[in-house]
Structure 1
Amino acid sequence: MLLDVLATVDRAAEKLAAQQAAISTRRKAVRKPTLGSIFKSSLVELMKTINSTNVHYIRCVKPNEAKNAWEFDPQMVLSQLRACGVLETIKISCAGFPSRSTYPEFVIQYAILLHSSYREKFLRGEGTEQEAVDLTKQILAETINDDHKYQTGKTKIFFKAGILAILEKLRTHKIHDSAIIIQKNLRAAYGRQHYLAARESLINAQSLIRGFLTRDRIRKEMEEQSAIKIQSLVRGHMIRVKVTVARGSLIALQAAIRGQQTRTNLVKKQYNDAATLIQTVVRGHLARVAYKKQMRAIVFTQSCYRRQAAKEEYKQLKVEAKSLNRMKEVQYSLENKVIELTQSLTSKVEENTNLVAKIEKLQSLVSESQEMRDQFKNRELDFNKKYDDTVSKHTEEVADLTEEINKQKLDYETARAKVDELSEAHTKLKKELTENIEQLKEAQEQLDETKRENVSLNDAIERLRQELTDLQRNVGSGKYIANGTGLTPTRSRTIAGRAGSPLGTSSSNGHFETRPASIVAPYANDEMNLEAINTELWTLLKDSKNLHKEIVEGLLKGLKLPAASVASELTRKEVLFPSRIIIIILSDMWRLGLTAESESFLGEVLSVIQGTVGALKEDDVVSHGAFWLTNTHELYSFVSYAQSMILANESISKDMSDSEFDEYLKLVAVVKEDFESLSYNIYNMWMKKMQKDLEKKCISAVVLAQALPGFVAPESSPLLSKVFHNNPQYKMDDILTFFNNVYWSMKAYFVEPQVINDVIIELLKFVDALCFNDLIMRRNFLSWKRGLQLNYNVTRLEEWCKTHDIQEGSTYLAHLLQVSKLLQLRKNTPDDIEIIYEICYALKPVQIQKLISQYHVADYETPISPAVTKALADKVKQTGGAADFFEPINAEGHFEDPFRHVDLRPFHRLEAYVPAWLNVPVIRRIVELVTKNAAAQEAISQ
């Protein structure tokens, strides 16, 4: 470099001297060039040389102090490099991008690293500058993983040190691999050509050889088959001749032998038939003589045994008759006790009515205080609207309101205390009343038992006396009944209706018949038992007063539900026994023709079930509602099954007239509609009560609860919230417990899975709409921390749905989930608002505008700009400008009954089950009689 500079300086000096010489000749004055002019000209030449070449800086470094060859002192070299700034230059070069290239050059050089379809235009010279930039970015994206190792400019791309070496290495490998692939394909094509030629020649040779061998083999096989066929024909003809001769001789021999055997057997059969006839006549005569003798002995033995038994029973009855006086005394004492209990019961009832009147007065006071609280809430809303205008006046009004609220609280607490005292007194009286009623029932039962025992004893005495007199008369006269008739007449009541028919009438003929006294007579006994069972059933079902009392008081109102929980393993008979008892009673009423009684019975049952569900309290709503829903669906399934069986069974229509059959069909259709409306009413009342319970909990648990630590938002106005919101605080655990109770109650009580899914979905929709409407009306409440807390609460509910197989639970919580996302997203520019519209697709534009207007901007957050407000207003105008930003809630409570969309429950054979703790003797007796009736009918049919 120094030599070039010196040479340039010399050339510049010579040129300057020549120019001055020319000037001197012209001017005739010789001037010597100055040092400055020489340096200036040399400097100009140097710059021309530098601009026309690539300049490199060369620095000589001493390898060692002695300047010996092939000796290297690392510390000395390092110090020289550090002194001349080479190390700093290298650091700067490594930190920067020393290598650079234009986009087209880079694409032409390294386009081989991509597929050929990307570089076709550039190979043809048709690529544009932008396509070169895009192709460069694609090459770098596939070859270099770290985008910090290169930077793209407008016309060039810059690389850190070593990147071009990596790209060259990849390019070399790519070229090498491509060359290998080309060589492989060329060699494969050449080898395949030779292989196909050799294969074709081999196939031709093999086909010729195999054709010759096949033709030779076929010729030999044809000759062999011809010889075999000739031999078979000759041998067959010879064998057929031999067989024909042998068969003729055998047939002749068999005919002779069989003729002899047949004649011998015929003679033997005639002898045997004559002997059998003689034996039959003799044995029949002996058997008849023995049977008559045995029957006389049996009848005599029975008469003696019955006489002895009647004497012993008569003695025992005489002893028992003497103790009737004692029974009468007990009866009189019990009647006196019943009278005293009835008098005390009337007095307690009067006291109870007085207490109920007082409670109603106190409840009116409570309702008035509730109205006052509602008025205060309305004042609070008005106060919030005027908050920004009248701050000073607001504080005075708040003080006045707090004083009034404190007064009302004191009045309410005193009234509440009085109500509690009266309710305690009412419960005590109710307990005493129930104890008195139980004692009265026990006394009445004891009295009824003694009456029934007295009647049965008198009947037994009269019957035994009659039998004894008949027995003495027969024994004294020496007449023994030999025709098989008994001695004791029995009164027989027959049911006019058919046992297999769903409709029938009952009547009694009242005449006496003699009972057969044969040794084995099961069919007659079963018929007699069936008639007695039907008679008693008819009597019990006809007595509608006692039956209705036990159904209403014992079965429906005095019911104890089986506990429904996760670990409970209930059976269908433990859950569905009320509906099955009603089914048994209803079916036997129809069978015995008690249509009027069945209508009044059903009316009483329907009204009591509906009233029971309507009077449920908060703690009993979930379990009792699910229990009565599943029992109502059981009743509806039975009536639908009975209707289908009536239409399908032609024998029923044949046994009745057309008018009776039409009346019966109309009755069943009316009952089906009644149960359908009952199911609809129970479901609607149940859903209303559950929604009312949820309404108290879900705002506090889902909207206000802040269970996520570290992101707790402060209250906007803690004083006002404490003054005006004294409601109990709930958490998400309370909501999840509520949903668990609903789910496991329906699961334990055998509610269909589709119905469970519909109920949970309806409750989720209610929670979503209610919480969303509450959120959209809260001023200075919404913030990004509230969004996090809301997302956490709703996610817990969504996870509960997934664990309990509730399909698409997040779909029905979409408004709350998207509100939580909206609160966490940026809202600084119109582009951010467009992103919010894409993410929050379930929210209307007017709802998004309302939520952003209610958003509370923190001190460290960017305020919402006017451009954002304008973009929101324009979006609302584009969609029609509707001002309805609330989500609809089913306030009227008209829910569609989900049981109408599920299959009916099958009915094959009902299991008669009455729990032991139920005090229903009439119902228990009816169930026992129905069971005996079914058993007797099965015995007769067998």
Structure 2
Amino acid sequence: MCDKQSLLESLTTRIIVTRDENITKTLDPVSATTNRDTLAKTVYSRLFDWLVDKINNSIGQDPASKTLIGVLDIYGFESFKTNSFEQFCINLTNEKLQQHFNQHVFKMEQEEYTKEEINWSYIDFVDNQDVLDMIEKKPLGIIALLDEACMFPKANHETFAGKLFQTFKNHKRFIKPKLSRTDFTISHYAGDVTYQADLFLDKNKDYVVAEHQALLGSSKCPFVAGLFPPSPEEPSKSSYKFSSIGTRFKQQLQALMDTLNSTEPHYIRCVKPNPYNKPGRFENFNVLQQLRCGGVLEAVRISCAGYPTRRMFDEFVDRFGLLAPELQYGSYDEKAATEYILKKANLSNYQIGKTKVFLRAGQMAELDTKRAELLGNAVKVIQRRVRTFLAQRELKALRKATISVQARWRGKVARKHYEFLKKEVAAIKVQKHVRRWLAQRSYKKARAAAIVIQAVYRGRQARKEFRFRKETRAAVKVQTMWRGYKARTDFKKLKKACLVIQCIWRGRVARKELKKLKTAAKETGALQEAKTKLEKRCEELTLRLQLEKRLRVDMEEAKAQETSKLQSIINDMQARLEAANSAITKERVLGKQAADQAVTTIKETEITKVIEVSNAKMEKLEAENESLKETMKSLERQAAEAEEKFLAAKKESDENVKKALEMESRIEQLQEAMQRMEEKLSNLESENQVLRQQALNISPVKGLSMRFKSTVLQRSSESGLLSNGEVKPVPESPVAVPTPDNAQSEAEQKRHKALAADRQQENLDALLKCVTQDVGFSKDRPIAACIIYKSLLQWRSFEAERTNVFDQIIHTIGTAIENQDNNDILSYWLTNTSVLLFLLQRTLKASSAGGLTQRRRTTSNTLFGRMAQGFRSSPASGSLSFSNGGVIGGLDSPRQVEAKYPALLFKQQLTAYVEKIYGMIRENLKSEINPLLNSCIQAPKTSRAVLGKAASRSVHASATAHQILSSHWHSIIKSLSNLLSIMRANHVPAFFVRKVFTQIFSHINVQLFNSLLLRRECCSFSNGEYVKAGLAELEHWVYEASEEYAGSALEELKHIRQAVGFLVIHQKPKKTLDEITHDLCPVLSTQQLYRISTMYWDDKYGTHSLSPDVIANMRVLMTEDSNNPMSNSFLLDDDSSIPFSVDEISKSMSEIDMSDIDPPPVLRENPGFFFLQSQAA
């Protein structure tokens, strides 16, 4: 593009031209760098000028055009913390534009008022000419002084600032700051701005190097050579030619002002509401500053004081002549006509000029409002006349057609009714004879069968009574011996078990003391010893509290067992005594009867022997009863002593535990309630959006008058068309006609409507009475939900604007499940409500606003109105059927129905009931298994005693111990199995069953895991084996329940399973932290692992927990995670939220075929539900 050597010389040397010769001077590195930057700035400036010129040429402006439309985007007034030469130039531009704005808006506005010779008081405004003179005026303006300072090599910003302070020290617009030597403040029209003069001289200098101009002008590239044309100026003595940026900027600004003065400007003020570019945010101070800087406040002030609206007289009369129609019939001067119109409009404070009328702000809008009102009234009159004519013509044609259709239809109905009466009479006669014959035959069969059954039953009862008497006499003897032996054996076992428990407990206490002494001996240092003592003391207090609670529970259980045993013994003895007395009495009576009826050969001595034997047995039983009473009293004394000891220990523990338990339970209840409310709120928001849209669509329609609404309904009923295009039967009464029979027809129509409404209410009561009972299922489908859905679809309740059917159904369901603890009833209603919700989700859709008018024209407005039409259209109200199956066939096929507001509200309420019933079932099961979970986390002490003496016990004792160990787990499994059986029996969808058991297993995991971390006696090796065995029972139950109903419930036990696995694993000191956290317990956090490892103790093999290094690493990890609030808690939270949505329910359930569902007998016999019976058939 250019010669490299020439470029190097132009950047590193300077040529000074003298009179005799040219002197070449080599530049130092700093000057060469400045020279290079100058070349770059020059190239950039020429490229920018070329680009602007190309853009202007591409716009296609005609150079010969005399008109011009331009858009000027001004810089905007700038005032920052640091203001330099750039802000000075920008604010100068704003001062110039503000002066032009003042001249155009204020001065020209007032000149026009003067020209029109109206009453006007001049308004003073702020003139900024003195600021412009201070900046631009020569030779003592700021720009002139800046150029002068730039020409002196030794001048700097301090000398420049001193010159300014000396020149403008008395100027009112120039202020010298107190704390700075080089800063100066100028009072602009928008406010004071302080400028820093540090870089003013450097930014104002613009050197043009002749060598650069010649080098780039001689470039081989035409484009570069065109950017640098040869300069017509004569070369100076130096290759550097000084050019001031401020002077060039002032010249360009003056050219812009000349262009603005030659045009007619229009001003648009753009205001930025906030500096963050965010919607909906308005900063008052920022906006006020922009309005003040743009001169908008002054413009508003003069506009409010003046007349912003003006019109020529002819334009005003042409537009607002309608307000004075009398002006059209006479000859008026335009000025006089204008004054007449304004006086008639009751306007004031306006001015009449020579050629224009001047109005205050808002008066033009007031005139336009009156003009629009006048035109609107005229349009309404025309429309009213046209609509009246069209309505009269349509009414006459409609009346004529209606009379013809009614005559034909009444004849057809009369003939059908006559045929029906003939068939009915014949059918009654046939039915009478057939029913009599069937009744006679049934009675004869029943009588013969009853005689045979009575004979067989009486013989069986006699034999049974004889056998019972023999067995009773033998059983009395056996029971006497066995009960005595049983009481003695139980007492010996109880005494031996108490001794064993005492020995085990005393040994355990001794081992604890020994362990404490060993631990204290190993500790070194006073601080560590004090810390250990405090920790041990805390653990001892916790353990003592828990042990006292366990002892209290054990003593209460032992007391209850002993009391129940003694009570059962007393009851048995009393029963035996009563049986013996009754047997003796019977024997005496029998003996007396036998003695009276016996033959004379029977001796009296035999009777005496029988009586003596009976008396001896009676005395023996009385003696045994007395001995048992004495034994019972001794046991009661022992129980009383044990109870006194228990109460003494209970007082101290209750005071410490009561407050903690109350606060813990309260916190859990509040958390569960809060989670439940948040879930319900999120589930209701989506449905509320649909309901709001529906309410907005309905609200404009409700504003129609009742007269217009009744007219639309009457025309839709008289048109004889259904919404799907079918021919609909018309009512028997004709349209109101001014005849004598009109009143009678209206009364008959009202009577028909009232009858239909009563019949519909009876049908609704019958439906509600039926669904309150358990009507069962048909092929795994709930009958109640299906008949409710079919009935609502048949009655078109989903399309009704107003109906109370849904409220009554919801009230019935709520009454059925209120305060229910029976999971059987709750499961039954969960199935029905979920299936009904699924059917509504599949069928209903929100109605659009566009089709609302059409639907109102083709359908009746109320539910009872549609039912009345349906009953009148059927012959003698015998059945409901249509030729194309539009009603009957459509109940089973999945079709979309445009639902109204009550239907959508019913769907939302039904969703709430599904969630409520689900939560009640879940909470019932939780309350049932919660007492058992407290026993499942730790093996009973009696069980450990039995296991500890297993070597010296019999097989029977070992089996008893295993039974005690697993009784609590078996109770939990039994509760789970019972709930599963109930839900399967009630055909609850598998989706809900999986959700219930998943949350129940999660609850079991949380309760067991938290109890394990809070109770040190549970963190033992033997207790881990006990809990592991129980978890194996749960795993077996999940396997038997199958994945269809259990799902992934077993995965919810991951925390307790891994914790128990840690307790029962061997060689814990050899395990590393990585093996524990990644292989053995990946789910547990560091806090939880540290808690278990520090609380662990081996009561079976005497092994130790993890190594001290691993525990120390855990402490380091916990210290690093101490800032995280989530990592500081080692307990788990129970999730009681509703884990499903309506969409998930719809996706989980398959299509339901309701075509073959047989209705209950109560509805089958009701003619109002014939549509259910016909579909089932």
Task: Specify the TM-score bucket, using the shorter chain as the normaliser.
Answer: 0.3 to 0.5
TM-score (norm. length: structure 2): 0.31
Q: Which has the higher contact order (CA 8 A, sep 6+)?
A: 1
